[in-house]
Amino acid sequence: MKVQDLKHAGLKKWVDEAVALMTPDSVEVCEGGQSEYDRMIDITVKAGLATKLAKKPNSYLFRSDPSDVARVENRTYIASKSESDAGPTNNWVDPAKLKETMTGLYKGSMKGRTMYVIPFSMGPVGSDIAKIGIEITDSPYVVANMHIMTRVGTKVLDVLGSNGFYVPCYHSVGKPLAAGEKDNGKWPCAPMDDKYISHFPDTREIWSYGSGYGGNALLGKKCLALRIASVLARDEGWLAEHMLILKLTNPSGEVKYVTGAFPSACGKTNLAMLIPTLPGWKVETVGDDIAWMKPGADGRLYAINPEAGFFGVAPGTNNDSNFNAMEAAAKNTIFTNCGLTEDGDIWWEQIGHGAPGKTVIDWKGQTKPAPQTDKSPKGEEIAHPNARFTAPAKQCPCIAKEWEDPKGVPISAFLFGGRRPSTIPLVNQAKSWIHGVFMGSITGSEVTAAVISDQVGQVRRDPFAMLPFCGYHMGDYFKHWINIGKKADADGKADKLPKIFFVNWFRKDAEGKFMWPGYGENSRVLAWVFDRCDGKDNCVETPIGNLPKPGTIDAPKGVSDAVMKELCSVDIEGWKKEIADVRKNHYPKFGDRMPKELYDELDAIEKRLGV
Ligand code: SAT
Ligand code: MN
């Protein structure tokens, strides 16, 4: 479709301005559909950027530049008008200055390339909870990924109409081509110091430059669906959260929907696609990363998954850890930075088997001996640790039939969690909404070797798993959560809000061994949560919250009664330390915008613990 055929006057003008600034060789408005997707892939194959996989139907492997392999948090900006609105935990630059710098970079940045204008819907097209974005990009890889991760095309423009609201998103890889120059197999991107992932919350705009990878470039995901959406949600009275959504069915066929927020590397995608070991229970997936929730007329919160695909971490995924993800990525999938086997299949660390043949090509394009097992020495990885698969959600065998319901699904429980080797029990229900907000605000996870080496073993707090994804001041974000509870109270609908739980699959014993087997066995905890939402008599009140009554969570094989008891009891001394750390090191980070209600919770728990 041509730009002059756009019916939305503001949109047409915005695109014209971008064309004048970025001077692409040609411009194309994306219409969506399989043939457009195939054409984008074809362009990348011809440019030497993608390899067709012989072993996976309609699937391709890309290798990015070694400098462009993950989100770049230190180049990510929340450029609100006022610095204090971005808060102390976001990078801030004056929006006018940032636009000046980036306009300089965008000038001529698409020379030699095609500009694609991607109309996309976050959420089912036309849903009341959905939002529209328009991404301008010079990367056919981005177009193909957006086709999988969002709903793209003319159907979105039809909903937008001639004056609808959309979030304008600029993206350029920042590598213009000289006359006759071609990518020639080299992933285009700009040097690190020229990369910018910028958000303008006041004007609801996203400007991204210099990176072609993941959340830096697929702007519907973290940029729109979390950073900008969190601001919209604050202003409009809903929630945009970094949460999975799952459907839980008990043996009597009753259904509840549960969301969960966990910092990275805590198994969010695995939980969303879990295969229960508990007989008669079923888990199905609505979403694995992001939930948008709006209060319905009945006072319940209704959630949609704004995405249409999974952008999952490949290493560690195998038929045992996540059979459903492996199936979802078995065809029509884009793989990035995985290894390539001799017989034309992908390979990664902990895929469950060695690589066939004599050699494999690693994510940097180097030929290496084929690994016999599925492990590689650290630093010698065949797949990059942040290698990804982009797979359509509808291919997931356990996708819930209502995953695209435009009304969303009514949520019964929120789970917060992290990797906590000590202190934090297996599951703990908040005493009240505000106590649950308190739990969310102190969420943290042990730093694993995969992240930052000098912090290994320490707890890094990541409130609501939103620290890198909140588009405004975290103190105000906590206040927004508190206000959702206050409003429900005022409407006499507090009992309709989800119950809040804190879970921990990662407790370790004195020898450093995991005490809880995790994975499918987590269904035992989900079953307890399910019954708790029905008010079943399965808990005991303690100073830290409601813990499982002995015997109400069946121990999995190999877990003794003594271990179950330890997992479900209060470690008073540990909690005193936990709370002291929150008071001294965590809450002060948010300064004077830290809501008083949360300090009151801190006082109350100290009192209950006898501090
Ligand atoms: O690169 S993404 O932001 O899409 C994925 C992630 O880092 O969680
Ligand atoms: Mn995520």
**SS in 3 state form for 367-418?**
EEECCCCCCCCCCCCCCCCCCEEEEEHHHCCCECCCCCCCCCEEEEEEEEEC
Q: Quick one: pLDDT band at residue 458, thresholds 50, 70, 90? A: confident
Q: Is there an atom of ligand 1 within 6 Å of 215 CB?
A: yes
Predicted local confidence at residue 524, as pLDDT:
98
CA 488, CA 477: separation in Å to the nearest integer? 17
Catalytic residue from among 169, 223, 266, 396: 266
Closest listed residue to residue 548, CA positions, set 572, 564, 568, 526 = 568
Is 39:69 a contact under the CB 8 Å cutoff?
no
- What are 162's two structure tokens? 């001639």
CA 136, CA 116: separation in Å to the nearest integer? 6
Query: Percent of the chain, pLDDT > 90?
Result: 96
Which DSSP category does 448 fall into? Answer: P
CA 409, CA 129: separation in Å to the nearest integer? 11
- What are 348's two structure tokens? 């990664």
How confident is the model over 533-589, as pLDDT tens digits?
Answer: 999 999 999 999 999 999 999 999 999 999 999 999 999 999 999 999 999 999 999
Q: Is there an atom of ligand 1 within 6 Å of 268 CB?
A: no
- Asked if the model's pLDDT at residue 451 lies above 60, the reply is no
How confident is the model over 143-187, as pLDDT tens digits?
Answer: 999 999 999 999 999 999 999 999 999 999 999 999 999 999 999
User: Residue 543: phi, psi to the nearest 5?
Assistant: -60, -25
- What are 229's two structure tokens? 């959406």
Predicted local confidence at residue 455, as pLDDT:
66
pTM of the entire structure?
0.97
Number of H helices, E strands in the chain: 16, 30
User: Is 199 marked as a binding-site residue?
Assistant: no
HSE-up (13 A, CA, CB side) for residue 407: 8
Determine the atom of ligand 1 nearest the C-alpha atom of 70: 1
How confident is the model over 35-66, as pLDDT tens digits?
Answer: 999 999 999 999 999 999 999 999 999 999 99
Predicted local confidence at residue 265, as pLDDT:
80
How confident is the model over 422-445, as pLDDT tens digits?
Answer: 999 999 999 999 999 999 999 999
User: Is 71 marked as a binding-site residue?
Assistant: yes
Q: Is there an atom of ligand 1 within 6 Å of 147 CB?
A: no
Fold of 310-395: Phosphoenolpyruvate Carboxykinase; domain 2 (2.170.8)
Predicted local confidence at residue 454, as pLDDT:
62
Predicted local confidence at residue 360, as pLDDT:
98
Sequence-separated contacts (24+) of 254-258 with Cβ below 8 Å: 256/412, 256/413, 256/530, 256/533, 257/286, 257/303, 257/409, 257/410, 257/411, 257/412, 258/411, 258/412, 258/413, 258/414, 258/415, 258/526, 258/529
Which residue has its alpha carbon closest to ligand 1 atom 3?
215
Alpha-carbon dihedral of residues 555, 557, 561, 567, nearest 10 degrees? -60
Averaged over 591-609, what is the pLDDT?
97
Which residue has its alpha carbon closest to ligand 1 atom 6?
215
Averaged over 511-527, what is the pLDDT?
97
Helix (H) or strand (E) holding 230: helix 229-236
- Asked if the model's pLDDT at residue 318 lies above 70, the reply is yes
Predicted local confidence at residue 447, as pLDDT:
80
CA distances from 557 to 349, 521, 562, 563 (A): 28, 9, 13, 12
Q: Quick one: pLDDT band at residue 452, thresholds 50, 70, 90? A: very low
Predicted local confidence at residue 456, as pLDDT:
63
Mean pLDDT of all residues in the chain? 97
Averaged over 287-314, what is the pLDDT?
97
Closest listed residue to residue 375, CA positions, set 344, 360, 353 = 353
The residue written with tokens 């993941």 in the block is 214
Reduced to 3 states (helix: H, G, I; strand: E, B; else coil), residue 92 is coil
Predicted local confidence at residue 568, as pLDDT:
98
How confident is the model over 336-349, as pLDDT tens digits?
Answer: 999 999 999 999 99
If you measure from the C-alpha of residue 186 to the centroid of ligand 2, how many angstroms do you get, rounded to a whole number? Answer: 28
Q: Which residue has the higher pLDDT, 48 or 377?
A: 48
User: Is 268 marked as a binding-site residue?
Assistant: yes
As a whole number of angstroms, the longest Cα–Cα distance in the chain is 74
- Asked if the model's pLDDT at residue 310 lies above 70, the reply is yes
Fold of 240-305+403-609: Phosphoenolpyruvate Carboxykinase; domain 3 (3.90.228)
User: Is 305 marked as a binding-site residue?
Assistant: no
Query: SS3 helix, strand, coil % of the chain, rounded to 5?
Result: 35, 20, 45
Is 563:515 a contact under the CB 8 Å cutoff?
yes
Which residue has its alpha carbon closest to ligand 1 atom 2?
215
Protein residues near ligand 2, an ion, with CB under 5 A: 289
The architecture that CATH gives domain 3-48+72-236 is 3-Layer(aba) Sandwich (3.40)
Closest listed residue to residue 72, CA positions, set 223, 170, 211 = 211
Answer yes or no: 396 catalytic.
Answer: no
Q: Is there an atom of ligand 1 within 6 Å of 214 CB?
A: yes
CA 368, CA 33: separation in Å to the nearest integer? 38
**ipTM value for the complex:** 0.96
Domain ranges of the chain: 3-48+72-236, 240-305+403-609, 310-395
Contacts for 193 with CB less than 8 Å, ≥ 6 apart? none
Could you tell me the end-to-end alpha-carbon distance of the chain, in angstroms, rounded to an integer? 67
Is 457:234 a contact under the CB 8 Å cutoff?
no
Ligand 1: which of 71, 228, 451 to mutate, most ligand atoms within 8 Å of CB? 71
- Asked if the model's pLDDT at residue 305 lies above 90, the reply is yes
